Amino acid sequence: MLKKHYSSKIMWGLLVMYVVLFIILDVFYNYFIDAMHSSLSAISIPAIILPYIFLLLLIFWLVKSKQVLPNPRNHKVLFAFGLGGLVMSAVLFTKLSMNEQASHFSQNRWIHDLESRVYMVDDLVANYNLKGMTKQQVTQLLGKQTEPAYFAQDDNVVYRLGMERGFFSIDNERLVLSLDAHNKVADLQILRD
C-alpha cells in the first residue's frame, strides 16, 4: 500500500510537470503564431495536436493503471487538465485559422488596410503573375505605390507592406517591382528597410 502511494505521488508529479510544460509550450506557440503570422499547415496542425494527445494518453494511463487513488477530487483534477488542454489547443487552432483567412490576397484590403499587406504578399506573389504586367496593370491591381522614399527609382514600383514579420519587428517590409524598358515588371523582391 505504501509503495502504491509513492508510485501514485510520482505519477501525479509527472503529470503536473507535463501540464506545466504544456502551458509553457502553449504560451510559446501563441507568441510564435503572432510573431510569424503562422497559418494552418502540415507542420502547425501536428505541433498543436500531438502535445494534447500525449496529455490525454497520460491522463488515460493514470486512470487505467489505478495510479489515481479513489478520490473524486483526483478525477475532477484530471478532467480539468484535459479540458484546459482542449481549450488551449482550440485557441491556437482559432488563431491559425484566422491567420489563414487574413493571408489571402484581397484587393480591397490591400488598398485600404496597409498594415495587413505584409500578411497577404505571399499569396499575392504566389497566385498573381506580376512579372510581365505593365505598370498600369500593377497600379490597377495594387493601387498607387506607397512611400517611394525607400528603394524608389525611376524603373521600379514600391509598396510598403508593413512591419517585418518575425520575432523582432524593427523595420518595414516593401514589395519592390522592377520594371524593364517596356514598363513591364521584370523582377520582384521583398526587401526590408
Whole-number pLDDT of residue 3: 57
Query: Strand, helix or coil at 39?
Result: coil
**Domain closes at, from 41, 74, 102:** 102
CB 172, CB 193: distance < 8 Å: yes
Whole-number pLDDT of residue 18: 94
**CA–CA separation, 167 and 173 (whole Å):** 14
**Domain closes at, from 50, 77, 102:** 102
Whole-number pLDDT of residue 172: 83
**CA–CA separation, 157 and 144 (whole Å):** 9
In the chain (193 residues long), the average pLDDT of successive 10-residue segments reads 63 89 96 87 94 92 72 83 95 93 91 89 92 93 79 83 78 89 92 84
39 with 61, same domain? Answer: yes
116 with 37, same domain? Answer: no
Task: State the alpha helices, DSSP H only, in 65-106.
Answer: 72-102
97 with 111, same domain? Answer: no
145 with 83, same domain? Answer: no
Largest Cα–Cα distance of the chain, in whole Å?
A: 87
177 with 92, same domain? Answer: no
**CA–CA separation, 157 and 191 (whole Å):** 13
95 with 115, same domain? Answer: no
- For residue 8, what are the CA distances in angstroms to 2, 4, 53, 65, 100? 10, 6, 22, 10, 43
**CA–CA separation, 143 and 111 (whole Å):** 6
Whole-number pLDDT of residue 10: 81
163 with 91, same domain? Answer: no
14 with 95, same domain? Answer: yes
CB 159, CB 147: distance < 8 Å: no
Question: What is the CATH classification number for the domain harbouring 111?
Answer: 3.30.1450
176 with 137, same domain? Answer: yes
Whole-number pLDDT of residue 4: 57
69 with 115, same domain? Answer: no
Whole-number pLDDT of residue 63: 79
Structural domains counted in the chain: 2
Structural domain that includes position 41: 2-102
Is the entire prediction scored with pTM above 0.85? Answer: no
Report angle CA 188, 96, 146 to the nearest 5 degrees.
30
129 with 152, same domain? Answer: yes
Whole-number pLDDT of residue 155: 83
126 with 186, same domain? Answer: yes
